[in-house]
Structure 1
Amino acid sequence: MGVFTYESEDASVIPPARLFKAFVLDSDNLIPKVLPQALKSTEIIEGNGGPGTIKKITFGEGSHLKHAKHRIDALDPENFTYSFSVIEGDALFDKLENVSTETKIVASPDGGSIVKSTSKYQTKGDFQLTDELIRGGKEKASGVFKAVEAYLVAHPDLYN
């Protein structure tokens, strides 16, 4: 078993508070609206939406994945931080125990945001993650992020 850590940063023109409200607090409603081909629905299986909550994510028709279960590990709206773990589902490809992601949104000098994420992939057995697999996941996540950002730019009255 191994643990592989990957970091990423995405810049946004959206201020941190607004981005956090949309991309984290209301993502279960917003992402299926913005990208229904990627994410069909999210259902709370256990919990109240805070830490410890387990959600079942059903991917859209355009995805090669069917479902995943996420556990919210931490949620801090005042400091714009959020962490979750993928704990079950075909998103783990039968090769990963889990994937944990910590995200922090900070203000950028231009009035927008910088989204900093650290993901830890805990593998099963002697499975080695490839750069191609990681790059594919990062590209999909970045695509979702950019689609949400474009939606917020097009709808400046939302999430203020």
Structure 2
Amino acid sequence: MGATSFTQELTCPIAPARIVKALIVESNTLIPKLLPQFIKSVDLVQGDGGAGSIEQVKFHRSQYKTVRHKVETLDKDNFTYSYSIIEGDALGTTLEKISYEMKISASPEGGSVCKSTSKYFTIGEADITEEKIKAGKEKASAMFKAIEAYLLANPDAY
């Protein structure tokens, strides 16, 4: 099994606690609401939403139908979160899993800095293409920006 990883950093004017609440804690209801053209539903299928929980994401009009996420860690006080895609057609025949680690911290300007690391674990000697990594990065950025826009437009939410 091989692994390929990349890190990206996004900044926004929203305080870390609000970003964590919207992006992680309330994502099951917020993400389908903000991105209904892509996400049909996010359902908790095992656990209480904390570490060890499993969520199933169903997609609209996508090349993927469903994926299952396993929450690895969730620390709301320190604004850290990690999860892995462990099942679903997004893994295809070359990936064992995709893991994501996220750390949100306060920026000097009063907003947040979100540092995210993605690791693609391949089956056997399979290679992960730069195209697949770029597509994953773009989807993550789009979701983050949609949440940022929602929180800016709704200052009393979360």
TM-score by length of 2: 0.97
* Partners of 1:106 and 1:70 in 2: CA distance: 24
Cα separation, 1, equivalents of 2:53 and 2:93? 23
Aligned to 1:146: 145
- Deviation at 1:147? 0.9
Match of 1:72 in 2: 71
Percent identity, please: 52
**Could you say what the CA RMSD is over the residues aligned between the two structures, in angstroms?**
0.8
Structure 1 position 134 matched with structure 2 position 146: no
Which residue does the alignment assign to 2:21?
A: 21
Count residues with an aligned counterpart: 158
Structure 1 Cα separation of the partners of residues 67 and 98 of structure 2: 11
What letter corresponds to residue 21 of structure 2 in structure 1? K
Alignment of 1:108 with 2:107, yes or no, is: yes
The TM-score, its normalising length taken from structure 1, stands at 0.96
In the TM superposition, residue 5 of structure 1 has moved relative to its aligned partner by: 1.2
Superposition pairs of residues 45-64 of structure 1, within 5 angstroms: 45-61=45-61, 63-64=62-63
TM-superposed CA distance for 1:60, in Å, is: 2.1
**Structure 1: tracts of 5 or more residues without a match:** none
Q: Which runs of 5+ in 2 are unaligned?
A: none
Show structure 1 runs of 4+ deviating over 3 A: none
Cα separation, 1, equivalents of 2:56 and 2:142 = 21
